[in-house]
Amino acid sequence: MNRFSTEAADAGKESSSTALRWTIIGLFSLGMMIAYVDRVNLSVALTDTDFKAFFHLTDRDRGVLNSAFFWSYVLLAIPAGSLVDRYGAKYPCAIGLLLWSAVSAAVALAGSVGQLLFLRVLLGIGESVISPGAMRWIRFHCSENQRGLAVGVFLAATKFGPAVGTLLSAWLIAAYGWRLMFVLLGIGSFVWLIPWLLLVKNDARQSRPEKTTSSQQNSISLRKLLASPAMWGIAAGAFSYMYFVYFCMTWMPVYFVERRGLSLNSMGIYTVFSFSGMAIIATAAGWLADRSVQRGWNAVKVRRGFTIAGLLLASTSIIGALSDSASVALFFAVFSLSGLGLTTANYWVLTQTIMPGMAIGRAVGIQHCAANLPGIVAPLLTGWLKHSTGSFEAPMYAIGIFLILGVAAYVFLVQERYAPRAE
């Protein structure tokens, strides 16, 4: 009788622990959605006539403003990871959200372009901790057979966040104006802190990484990793993928409104379709690739095939850009970004598949850096091209060129024979 009672108690504890684990993963996902809402709300405001007139914005100004977030975000990617390694996820993420939410709300008080730039840099500082915090927490609190789904749920927020953020920002601007939009979205985010502080334990001194031998740590040098054609192909592919994504996050709202004549609300709806489609297809493509590998197909070929197919589908955005038909253009705007979802999960998993285990941390670090650089380049280059040519054709051509370069990188460079080997 006592044995059965003990087993029941253990089962209850395990069930409770599992529920809490997935609740916290849900909080991470919600926090990431909030982060993306606060990233894209400025992009929506840049389509508003009152906002542009108040700050006397040119296309170059809009490009710089969309890029400013990444000036600090890219520079702090590695230091933020060190911060959560030392102090855990609970308090750095809480302080980060408190900072970026307050900064988002403070845009309502800005009176110059310089102040907007300063606030966007602060936003990048605040948001720099959420991704490394989530990845560290998942690494130490989820077993190997749970991490794929956990990371998938977290990454889905990076697609649904822009969709929800664009729609909500557009509706709030139309209903209340751009100042109140920033205030409501910024202050409203503070609610997330309540369950976070109550449910998440401070794990700063718990779950330290496994110790590795000196030979394991030094088996592949950073220099040798950077000399690998496969690593350069992975970096080029990540840059190409994210160039299109960051264009869509920063300039697509403007493209919909100014080039295709949509209202703010209609623009928000089409953006929701685009990013939601990408999130759904990304999840399905990751699952389908997993099943294919389980059936005995070559993992590298499967992951690379999905990656290349997604980049090719994304390049169909050129068809819409060249069309005079608004309906054709809008269809391919949604279709191309949704199609890129075939790449989303698989190009990250492919890096883990093709790179030796002792080099995976540095390899993913290089890929993450390459994936965030377009956050600086895409807004600036798009703004400059639009200002110079007076249309969106040149910016759309640039997207097509980068995507084709990404395809070439995965076809010719990202191969097992070009991966670095242990020394």
**Average pLDDT of the chain, as a whole number:** 84
The torsion defined by the Cα of 73, 284, 363 and 420, in degrees rounded to 10, comes to -160
63 with 177, same domain: the answer is yes
Q: Is the pLDDT of residue 218 over 90?
A: no
Q: How many residues does this entry show for the chain?
A: 423
- On whether residue 216 sits in a domain, the answer given is no
CA-closest candidate to residue 99, choices 200, 190, 203:
190
Tell me how many domains the chain contains.
2
d(CA 85, CA 398): 38
- ∠ CA 352-357-363 to the nearest 5 degrees? 55
197 with 237, same domain: the answer is no
Q: Is the pLDDT of residue 28 over 90?
A: yes
Condensed to tens digits (0 to 9), the pLDDT of residues 42-100 reads 989 998 999 999 999 988 888 889 888 888 988 887 677 778 777 888 999 999 999 99
Q: Is the pLDDT of residue 338 over 60?
A: yes
Counting residues of the chain whose pLDDT is more than 90, the rounded percentage is 39
pTM score above 0.95: no
197 with 233, same domain: the answer is no
280 with 319, same domain: the answer is yes
- Domain containing 352 equals 222-423
290 with 369, same domain: the answer is yes
Give pLDDT, residue 76: 82
29 CB-contact burial (10 Å; exposed 0-12 / middle 13-18 / buried 19+): buried
Give pLDDT, residue 283: 79
Give the model's confidence band at 216: pLDDT under 50 very low, under 70 low, under 90 confident, else very high.
Answer: very low
Give pLDDT, residue 306: 93
Average pLDDT over residues 233-250: 92
Query: Picking from 36-50, 102-116, 156-170, which range would have the lowest pLDDT averaged per residue?
Result: 156-170
168 with 241, same domain: the answer is no
- On whether residue 211 sits in a domain, the answer given is no
Tell how far CA 377 is from the center of its chain. Answer: 15
Q: CA-CA distances (angstroms) from residue 172 to 160, 175, 261, 271, 370? A: 18, 5, 19, 16, 34
Q: Is 46 helix (H, G, I), strand (E, B) or coil?
A: coil
229 with 189, same domain: the answer is no
- On whether residue 70 sits in a domain, the answer given is yes
Give pLDDT, residue 275: 84
Q: Is the pLDDT of residue 400 over 90?
A: yes
Residue 87 belongs to a domain with what CATH number? 1.20.1250.20
Choice between 150 and 112, residue whose per-residue pLDDT is larger: 112
182 with 228, same domain: the answer is no
Choice between 10 and 382, residue whose per-residue pLDDT is larger: 382
Q: Is 61 helix (H, G, I), strand (E, B) or coil?
A: helix
- ∠ CA 352-364-342 to the nearest 5 degrees? 60
252 with 386, same domain: the answer is yes
- On whether residue 193 sits in a domain, the answer given is yes
d(CA 421, CA 375): 32
- On whether residue 356 sits in a domain, the answer given is yes
CA-closest candidate to residue 302, choices 238, 237, 341, 347:
347
Query: Picking from 51-65, 194-208, 257-271, 325-339, which range would have the lowest pLDDT averaged per residue?
Result: 194-208
